[in-house]
Structure 1
Amino acid sequence: MQPNPIRTTVIGSYPFPGWLEFASQNLDQFGQADIEEMIEDAVVAAVHDQTTAGLDVITDGEQTRLDFNLSFYGYIKGLQPNHSETRKFGPPAHDQRGKHSIVEELTAPQGLGAVKEFERLKRLAPAGPTLKASIPGPYTLSGRMLPNERYKDRYDITEALLPFVRQELEDLVAAGCTEITVDEPSMSCYAYKEDTKRFVDIFNRTVAPVVGKCRLSTHLCFGNFKGRPVGYRKIHPMLPDFLDLAVDEVHVEMANREFDEIELIAEFAQKMDVAVGIIDVKNYYIETVKDVIKRIEKCLKYIPAEKLAVAPDCGLSQTARWAARQKLINMVAGARQVR
């Protein structure tokens, strides 16, 4: 059970400062020392916004990750960008995200980079908030890799990636990380048509070495690339099998779906804590404190306060920083009033 009732948390990502986005498109003008300085400054800014809002749990804002999956691909050997597989023009959407061909055996000799991110966060964050690391699970991580003769389908690729993620989780715990989110939005997006028992087996084998050694959660959403969903946005296909996920907390997207299926959090609450997305990261309507209070009260009809956390629906990286900041401030203020 979580340490505090109605805990306030975030998923992982936070908007880049405008200058970092500009710099990331002009890296050839900067030296390595300049780049490291920019990263630290960006993490300081993300931490400042989160701690000023008063969150119980903060992250580094994933300021080193230019893309949710593809940033990790830089650590995996055996991949080659395949730009011909993506749509180039028209409305921005998930089918424009980069894909990669597998050209040799997949390996990750230097890990996936999450430990370095966490070590930086520990050094830069103030005492008080819980520090959380996040990493994509192997099924989600496989999503932009193209099968070949060696890896016949997405599940073969997933099995090849599973040991990399598992090792990264073990290394995070060894580095002192007490809270980790394993992001598996692909599982929630495809639960309506794939074998959910197989999903649970993949997930539980991935996290097995760290179960009981940290507070472990998973994030189940329906996509947020360029502020757009991608999956079938229903929770009921995940049940009852996802109740067997080996986690302390599950995060579910609610605000953008107008709290459709909110009653189903009661089923999750029988087995685990639930972080409910009560802030819509796709909408530029800024939820007021009164909105937050009403939404939390709606959740409390189905789950006790000591098992409820509140959060944005997804990471905030696709939301402008001014909006993200105010949304978090109001979310925390509302949660405190309900407490």
Structure 2
Amino acid sequence: MNIGFFSAKKYDEEFFNQANKNYGYKVRYFDFSLTEKSVVMASEFEAICVFVNDRINKNVLDTLSKGKTKYIAFRCAGYNNIDLQYAQKKGFRCVRVPAYSPNAVAEHVLALLLTLYRSTHKAYNRVREGNFSLTGLSGEEIFGKTVGIVGTGNIGSIVANIFNGLGCEVIASDPVVNQDLMSKSSIQYVDLEELYQRADIITLHCPLTNDNRHMIDSHSIQMMKRGVTLVNTGRGGLINTQAVYEALKSKHIGYLAIDVYEEEASLFFEDLSTDIIMDDLFMRLTTFPNVLITGHQGFFTKRALKQIAETTLENLKALEKRLKSDNEIF
């Protein structure tokens, strides 16, 4: 099989080349995203491998259907960036990596929260400058807080166990109750409105759909406790950024930690350190001392990258042999 990788970075090449030793596929890496303009580069590939910032809309799918492409492999869990119904209509088979390393993302939630609460990023910079003053570094403790988890799939359930271990009251909201999690922990399921009202910390772990886009907006924020902490390592579109910005200014939101951003496609995964970033709202967020932003790195561990590569190639092997893949998207 001939596979074209879009939005490929050096680390993608490293881990996929290693995994491909067991498959022997022909691969070509492109460091640019799949778009309506770049899709012409995909005509020779039986399969294309895409990531979160690639855009697979109707026009892209129409162009793909005129070439050799039959398979679309997502090297990530989410697939909100494809017109799935149209892809299926055009006969494409699509696969994803649903659980490359849920522990990686769950641990990143804790890393973000501890950094914000204990100002370790500020302390690190001070010490490097010879400043050992503690003024302005007094923090919060996680112990005893009520943590609200939205979505209790692979990642959310691990996050629940982490906060249980830290002595928190854990509540959750999910249309599907995780019975295994319920049996092994003291987690309590509540409706979303009650979660907003009770939680000191709210962390999002649900997929992005048309129904929950901007689930965190001015209306839902008003239900929350004043000074609430909001963490999002899920999908940027779950949050209405303008509403959160206003709530930060009014101090209704006490802390914000995000690893995703709804307009991240033009920002994340690129080195823009010598450019002028034109997203004014994003840049305003970076000025808040109680906001911490990372560039979609929650998944980014060696174990996860290895698992992503191996699962993606195994998915494509199943499709090539016309076998059923448990990771096929329907």
TM-score above 0.5 = no
TM-score scaled to structure 2, two decimals? 0.32
TM-score scaled to structure 1, two decimals? 0.31
Between structures 1 and 2, the one with greater helix share: 1
